[in-house]
Amino acid sequence: MADNDKIKVSIDGIAVEVAPGTTILNAARQIGGDIVPPAMCYYSKLEGSGGKCRTCLVKVSKGSDKDPRPMPKLVASCRTTVMDGMEVQNITSNEVLEARKGVVEMLLINHPLDCPICDQAGECHLQDLGFEHGAAATRYEFERRTFDKIDIGDKIQLHMTRCILCYRCVFTADQLTDKRVHGILGRGDAAEISTYIEQAIDNDFSGNMIDVCPVGALTDKTFRFKNRVWFTKPVEAHRDCPTCSGKVTLWYKGEEVLRVTARKDQYGEVEDFICNTCRFEKKQTSDWVIEGPRHVVHTSVISANHYEDLKPLPVIKENPKLKEGNKYQLERSVRL
């Protein structure tokens, strides 16, 4: 695409040129860093995802060069496409931060305090979101939702009380398999992930539902209660698999492979979906060609005491572009 066909958009004062039809969220991801809105339901590789959790709300302070009026309400960045000359505020807007805090409080209303026993602890996006935007205590005084336990197979454990209804597992089953047997049953407060007539979820790619789940609602039964992720060491490996790409991450404790997962990018999204044979049946080092240790961002608890050099967090995080953008937005607001 020619450069003159691209659209220019400013997010927190940082300008970027993107292709027409790009969403605000993906435009922010092209910039990277702190200005990228969090997303609990959007998944770039799943068509139709997004617009469910509302954690990615942003403020459009200028609609476009043709129509500079601001949008009257906060918009979901994963569903809103950019316009030429659009100006967006994310972390520079107190309104956005307050709204995000309210969304996180809503997500945590029925979420149990299972972190000490949850297998997702240490790589849970809701934990990160709660740490950054959550309140110190809940204002909710009513009983939390409870659900009857159902068995959805011998490989995947469902904890419906932890589910935030992001629909990722439903889209995964729809788009990776020929026959989806689970979905959202009920409406409103009674909505839940379940199977029709308690059928077992049994297909060659069903394990990917575990990887796309942002919380601990769907976990690996073969890894259940075996270890905490920050005590394991992730190693990248591959094998010649006739069903999938065969590119995985092996999670070691000593010389034992505790679990196998698909590789994920910096936003926690799977790079290549893998089959159940690779995930559940190949747990010997001899089954794989080892590529080397997986890079773990130093802000993650998984990186603690691991094979990379210690990189302590700076006391003050300098971002000259963001500071200049904040200054511009402040001057513009004062003028308005």
Chain segment 200-237, per-residue pLDDT in tens: 777 888 889 999 999 989 999 999 888 898 888 899 99
d(CA 334, CA 126): 36
Indicate the residue type of 107. L
Evaluate the CA torsion angle 29, 31, 32, 36 in order and state its sign. negative
What does each C-alpha distance from 287 to 240, 241, 281 come to in angstroms?
10, 11, 10
Q: Could you say which DSSP state residue 217 is in? A: S
Per-residue confidence (pLDDT) for residue 272, from 0 to 100: 92
Question: Binning pLDDT at 50, 70 and 90, where does residue 334 land?
Answer: low
CB 336 within 8 A of CB 68: no
- Token reading at 240: 């010649």
Give burial (CB, 10 Å; 0-12/13-18/19+) of 198: exposed
In sequence order, the 6+-apart residues with CB closer than 8 A to the CB of 295 are 308
301 pLDDT more than 90? no
Indicate the residue type of 249. T
Question: Binning pLDDT at 50, 70 and 90, where does residue 197 land?
Answer: low
- The residues with which 158 forms a beta bridge, in sequence order, are 218
Question: Binning pLDDT at 50, 70 and 90, where does residue 148 land?
Answer: confident
- SS (HEC) of 194-252: EEHHHCCCCCCCCCHHHHHCCCCCEEEHHHCCCCCHHHCEEEEEECCCCCCCCEEEEEE
Nearest one of 290, 223, 285 to 254, comparing CA atoms: 285
Residues 237-272 as b/e (b if ≥16 CB within 10 A, e otherwise) read bbeeeeebbbbbbbbeeeeebbbbbbbbeeebbbee
The whole-chain average pLDDT of the chain stands at 86
d(CA 15, CA 17): 7
Lowest-confidence segment of 67-76, 177-186, 207-216, 220-229 by average pLDDT: 177-186
Q: Pairing mode, if any, of strands 75-76 and 57-62?
A: antiparallel
Q: Is 271 helix (H, G, I), strand (E, B) or coil?
A: coil
